[in-house]
Amino acid sequence: AAPAEIPAGIPKVELHVHLEGTATPELVRSLAARHGMSLPPDLFDRQGEFAWSDFLHFLKVYDDAAAVIRTDRDYRDVTYDYLRRCAAEGAVYVEVMSSPDHAAQGGLSFQGHLDGIVQGIEDAEADFGIQARLIVTCVRHFGVERGLEVARACTRHRHPVLTGFGMGGDENHLRAADFAGVFAIAHQEAGLACTVHAGETAGPESIRDALDNLPVRRIGHGVRAIEDAGLVSRIAEEGIVLEVCPTSNIRTAVYPDYAAHPLDRLRAAGCAVTLNSDDPPYFGTSIGHEYGVAKRHFGWSDDDLLTVTAVGLKAAFTDARRPLRQS
């Protein structure tokens, strides 16, 4: 489909985007050149886009591409480049998820990873007026031990920009409940607001598992709640905010097309929804494009778009960090 036009004059908010997944093929090539690294020959297709087939292959290609982000300067540049593009599309506030585990694969410390992202956020705010925060994420299929290390690191390395904690990765690996200890440290000891991917590649039981066991106010995706009417009511009643990523869901084949996507059914049932890009160059999208998709494929009015921006600002982890627990 032709890219949907980006609605002008609408301030946009993004709450769900993976920083490592924002690096364009061009930026990945330039970072590889910076470090004299050769890239896997099948990383790109003939059009020069990231080449992947199904969801698990996507996660693998994502890891291979992320391997070129190795230093605090690299993280600064990836962050700055993404926020520059967001600002050009009318975004005013963005929360980026980033994974210290991916940084560690390139030899970068938690502090170096954090410093780089903070610099990118500060430089982008100075140059483009856009505001941003960081959600540190662990990776579900890397296991509980690694998750505990990431959460513990969040208690030691504090910065006003670091306000959230989350988890991505393969949703069919382990259960949310297995990560209860990880999220307890992130939430209670590090004072971070929490979100978790659920109801993307697994069904409603995965969302229930998350809501029952983790201190989350938002769910990444959550769209497969639609398969369970009781769960949809619970999400609406408890005011859980869904970070919906429509184009991502179509590109990873959760739904065949926008007509089959439950965005509007969730909204009609009273669920708080936001619009997000997830991994923009992998899915051929951007935050502006997602607003355009809502308008063109879901028939949303400008008022609907302004409402979704307001929902996003209200659900933002802007100043969510609480003081350290006294012990």
Q: Give min distance, CB of 168 to Zn ion, in A.
A: 5
Shortest distance, position 152 Cβ to ligand ADE, whole Å: 22
Tokens of 264: 């509007």
CB 317 within 8 A of CB 164: yes
Give the C-alpha separation, 143 to 123, whole Å: 34
Q: What residue spans of the chain are helical by DSSP H?
A: 25-34, 55-66, 72-88, 100-105, 110-128, 144-156, 180-184, 204-213, 229-238, 246-251, 263-268, 280-283, 287-298, 302-315
Q: Which residue lies nearer to Zn ion by CB, 16 or 267? A: 16
Query: What is the signed CA dihedral for 293, 295, 298, 300, rounded to 10 degrees?
Result: 150
Query: Pick the catalytic residue: 89, 95, 171, 200?
Result: 200
Q: Give the CB-nearest residue to ligand ADE.
A: 168
If the CB atoms of residues 62 and 142 are measured against ligand ADE, the closer one turns out to be 62
Q: Which residues bind ligand ADE (CB under 6 A)?
A: 18, 21, 62, 168-169, 197, 200, 248, 278-279
Residue from 20, 115, 209, 278 in contact with Zn ion (CB under 5 A)? 278
Shorter beta-carbon distance to ligand ADE: residue 72 or 279: 279
Say whether 200 is catalytic.
Answer: yes
Tokens coding 178: 């297995």
| Minimum CB distance to ligand ADE smaller for 62 or for 258 | 62
Shortest Å, Cβ 189 to ligand ADE: 25
H-helix or E-strand spanning residue 133:
strand 131-139
Query: DSSP 3-state assignment of 36?
Result: coil
- Which one of the spans 3-11, 152-160, 270-278, 314-322 is the region binding Zn ion (CB under 5 A)? 270-278
Residues binding Zn ion (CB under 5 A): 278
Positions marked catalytic: 200
